[in-house]
Amino acid sequence: MTDLNNLTISDARDKLRSRDISAVELAEACNKAAAGSDALNAYCLKTPDLALEMAAAADLRIAAGDAPDMCGIPLGIKDLFCTKGVTTQAASKILTGFVPEYESTVTSKLWDAGAVMVGKLNMDEFAMGSSNETSTYGSVVSPWKSNGSNAELTPGGSSGGSAAAVSADLCLAATGTDTGGSIRQPAAFTGIVGLKPTYGRVSRWGVVAFASSLDQAGPMTKTVRDAAIFLQAISGHDAKDSTSADIAVPDFEAALIGDIRGKKIAIPKEYRQDGMPTEIEKLWNDGADMLRDAGAEIVDISLPHTKYALPAYYVLAPAEASSNLARYDGVRYGLRAKLQAGEGINEMYARTRAEGFGPEVRKRLMVGAYVLSAGFYDAYYRRAQRIRTLIKQDFENVFADGVDAILTPATPTAAFGLGEMAQLDPIEMYLNDVFTVTVNLAGLPAISVPAGMTDAGLPLGLQLIGKPWDEGDLLNTAYAMELCAGFVSKAPKWW
Amino acid sequence: MSIDKDTARRAAHLARIEVAEDELEKLAGELSGILDFMEQLNEVDVSGVEPMTSVTPMRLKRRKDVVNDGGQQAKILSNAPDAREGFFAVPKVVE
């Protein structure tokens, strides 16, 4: 019999309902797996007692026949989500010891549905990073290794703890957040499914803000079906987030029929870059073949402003971050720097922020303050907002032409070694987001599905981009691709 | 290089982040690298294009202008590095 922590959400749900297993047994298995996972550094805080308590309550609900799909399902929660009474730091030193007095809407919905918290998951500081190396808790180590190598690899970022935990079966699924690719890139690097919903589908309330017009929470799961079940539980309008949309939430799992005959799937030529590794190019071609074999029509399209997405993002995201992170000033929560005699409140602000934020966050906040400053606002921020309009129009045009989904690689490469990016220009690091960031700028839903392996034995993911509010159709296409790809590999356990 | 040492000092001040004088040169180099990357945005003709200010075009919801929350002083202060007598305490501001 497989260990219970290896189960998917859908399998666990069925076994819980048929009383083959109990939620407490399931939580115990995940607690045990989490306890033995310190070499991965995926959990920044484990909550085993809370997990057992929540699981016992879930068992009562299941026995009473009142069990939503997520009831009794053990989850890891990215440290960006405020959890009442449980330390939440966004992996930053500046929030040292912060214990929220409130619960984020996403986690509230999960707990209301009976889900169980195994712990909080490591991430890049304030979700700024693509390798999970900017965390105050230290880097997350991927469960995956290249064939014949013992070098530690990145799980990706910023939701690197979430990706490592799901991939290594340290929980059944995890929450992630995606501002420029932070769900999809780590999902691709670790061989799991990551879904960024349409902007506004999921409430941002209680999620520590990075760039509010780009941030969106979503599921990181072992299968597409699990992503559908998970998304169902966290979607919907929330009066506490004025950007959450008051739009009906369809039954996402019911959309998984696996039939994509007649669907029009587009390949954008601008994503075919010079110097693209042949493994990525092959994966992409294979993905198109799979969808074609499943009855879809593959068409070539152009998204002409693609190359400007990354520079526009690196204006807009730091600008919004500089505004959002102004609240960390040493007054209301977290760290306050020590002052010398004669120093006052201005030194307190500037030193608290210098000591509390890591180098990547500091750099982005300075870039953000600069592009918003008098004399540069129009040249940088305003211009980037206009280009954002053009990028969104590119997508609107192809969807208006009848395209149902767009297929791209999720990442430009497979996972790289921890420490490798430090040798490079920061722009090289930002290029990790090149295939994912357009989606955030346009507010679209997109999913990363594990679809292949490199010769070195590392997972690769394909991304499908869908129409706004049509996650059901997107999930169904992803489901068809998942069935064709038949990706089942797991990292051999070494930790 | 688009950012000199003085501009780097100004960016740090605007972000309220203390940077030692001998680190400004390096910071200027890093910021320049990022801002140079953004320069390619100038290739795009944006005349007549509206800036995107709302990801999803929708009207903000309205609610009744009434008190619907409050009375949470202790909770609000519970994470403060220094709270006294029901207030956040900070170093003296007025000389």
Burial of A457 (0-12, 13-18, 19+ CB in 10 A): middle
Q: What pLDDT sits at residue A438?
A: 98
Q: Helix, strand or coil for residue A93?
A: helix
Closest approach of chain A CAs to the CA of B58, in angstroms? 8
Please give the torsion angle defined by the CA atoms of residues A202, A86, A225 and A188, in that order, rounded to the nearest 10 degrees: 90
Instruction: Give the integer Cα–Cα distance in Å for A427 and A71.
Output: 43
Q: Is A78 a catalytic residue?
A: yes
Percent of chain A with pLDDT over 70: 100
Q: Of residues A10, A46, A78, A109, which has the active-site annotation?
A: A78
Closest approach of chain A CAs to the CA of B11, in angstroms? 5
CATH class of domain segment(s) B5-42: mainly alpha
Q: What pLDDT sits at residue A106?
A: 98
Q: Which two tokens stand for residue A47?
A: 């909550």
What tens digit of pLDDT does each residue of A70-91 get? 999 999 999 999 999 999 999 9
CB A241 within 8 A of CB A276: no
Of A245, A307, A385, the CB nearest to B53: A385
Q: Is A182 a catalytic residue?
A: yes
CA angle A451, A452, A453 (to 5 degrees): 150
Mean pLDDT, all residues of chain A: 96
Residue A1 above 60 pLDDT? no
Instruction: Look up the ipTM and state it.
Output: 0.95
Residue B95 above 70 pLDDT? no
Q: Which residues of B touch A308 (CB under 8 A)?
A: 40-41, 43-44
Q: Which of residues 183-212 of A touch B (CB under 8 A)?
A: 198-200
CB A195 within 8 A of CB A471: yes
Q: Of the ranges A2-6, A172-176, A482-486, which one carries the lowest mean pLDDT score?
A: A2-6
**Tokens 């017009």 found at:** A213
Reported pTM:
0.97
Cβ–Cβ gap B79/A98 under 8 Å = yes
Q: Is B47 on the interface with A (CB under 8 A)?
A: no
Question: How many contiguous H segments (helices) and E segments (strands) does chain B have?
Answer: 3, 2
Q: Of residues A92, A158, A244, A448, which has the active-site annotation?
A: A158
Q: Is A139 a catalytic residue?
A: no
Q: What pLDDT sits at residue B1?
A: 55
Task: Domain ranges for chain B, please list them.
Answer: 5-42
Q: Of residues A182, A203, A322, A448, which has the active-site annotation?
A: A182
